[in-house]
Amino acid sequence: MDDLTTLEGVGPAMASKLRSSGLTTVAVIAVTPPREIAEKTGIGFNTILKFVAEARKLVGFEFIRADELWEKRKKMLKCSTGSEALDELLGGGIETQAMTEFIGEYGVGKTQICLMLCVMAQLPPDRGGLNGNVAFIDTEGTFIPERIYQIANEMGLDPEETLGKIFLARVYNSNHQLLIVEHLFKFCPENDIKLVVVDSMIGHFKSEYLGRETLSERQQKLNSCLHKLLRLGEAYNLPVIVTNQVQANPAQFFGDPNRPAGGHVMAHACTHRVYLRKGSKGTRLAKVIDSPYLPEHTTRFRITEKGIEDVLVAT
């Protein structure tokens, strides 16, 4: 499936042209808009249409019967966050075959949740994990190995072994981010990746596209990146975690003046959206704000040297 020459009409030269434009696998070709492939590779549009149609057939993106989907969803797994309360809010933990978004202001704990999940995902299923490696897309340079070391140590794990199972990609701009996401279709199965984190999803998009006139281009690119991530989670039965910032909503006079960045594109692409706020006594509040089947609950957790934990209730 990774050999592009399995596609009719793709010889070694054409395959290398596709690969060097980031279209590394049949699966990536199947999920990339044909226009985008044509632009990137300079190959004629009609030729691309044929490749894409064939790739989709190979990958099986045609109709799927509902009972097959049901079977697939039965394979869905959950990864614990380390906090029972937060897991319960999420319906038992972070879901595979889905994209979960953590939204909140600077310092609220989005990265801390991501780092905690990097450790949790490595645990065996009976300890709430997914028994696998992690791919971490770091767009802000906030991945701190020392913190992973600390959490692993507190949990009685071998910290260096834990660090050795996290694969980092430091991403410098939104084009780079898109390329890395495309590369994940190849990277994940090759490296036994069971969790994909993008922290933050939106940072580069926001800083690169400033004026109103660039907004639709930005949203298109963001949309494409998000849908690839979702497809990745579905294809390899893994959870995708993305973080998102909040921005002030000038039209809001009452209540919380902040809203998630990324507009409708972000809202529609993410399966579960969790809004984080600071609570009293250093605790954090998490609220599900948009989910196809999780109720809109709020819960409390805290960030400690052990990572993410429940708030202890005094008895």
Ligand X SMILES: Nc1ncnc2c1ncn2[C@@H]1O[C@H](COP(=O)(O)OP(=O)(O)O)[C@@H](O)[C@H]1O
Residue 108, interface with ligand X (CB under 6 A)?
yes
CA–CA separation, 97 vs 86, rounded Å? 19
CA–CA separation, 297 vs 287, rounded Å? 6
Looking at beta carbons only, is 91 or 145 nearer to Mg ion?
145
**Amino acid type, 118:** C
Residue 267 in tokens:
């809202």
Write down the least CB distance from residue 298 to ligand X, Å: 17
Strand ranges (DSSP E) for 139-201? 166-170, 193-199
Q: Exposed (0-12), middle (13-18) or buried (19+): which is 143, by Cβ within 10 Å?
A: buried
Contact assessment for residue 299 and residue 288, using Cβ atoms and an 8 Å cutoff:
no
Residue 112, interface with ligand X (CB under 6 A)?
yes
Contact assessment for residue 302 and residue 311, using Cβ atoms and an 8 Å cutoff:
yes
Q: How many residues bind Mg ion (CB under 5 A)?
A: 3
The helix/strand/coil state of 164 is coil
Q: Which stretch binds ligand X (CB under 6 A): 109-117, 183-191, 220-228, 263-271?
A: 109-117
Residue 111, interface with Mg ion (CB under 5 A)?
yes
Write down the least CB distance from residue 305 to ligand X, Å: 5
Q: Which stretch binds Mg ion (CB under 5 A): 32-40, 60-68, 71-79, 138-146?
A: 138-146
DSSP 91: T
Q: Which stretch binds ligand X (CB under 6 A): 4-12, 34-42, 48-56, 300-308?
A: 300-308
Which residue in 12, 62, 63, 106 binds ligand X (CB under 6 A)? 106
Residue 142, interface with Mg ion (CB under 5 A)?
yes
Q: Could you tell which of ligand X, Mg ion, none binds residue 117, using a CB distance below 5 to 8 A set by kind?
A: none
Query: Which residues of this protein are in contact with ligand X, per CB under 6 A?
Result: 104, 106-112, 150, 303-305
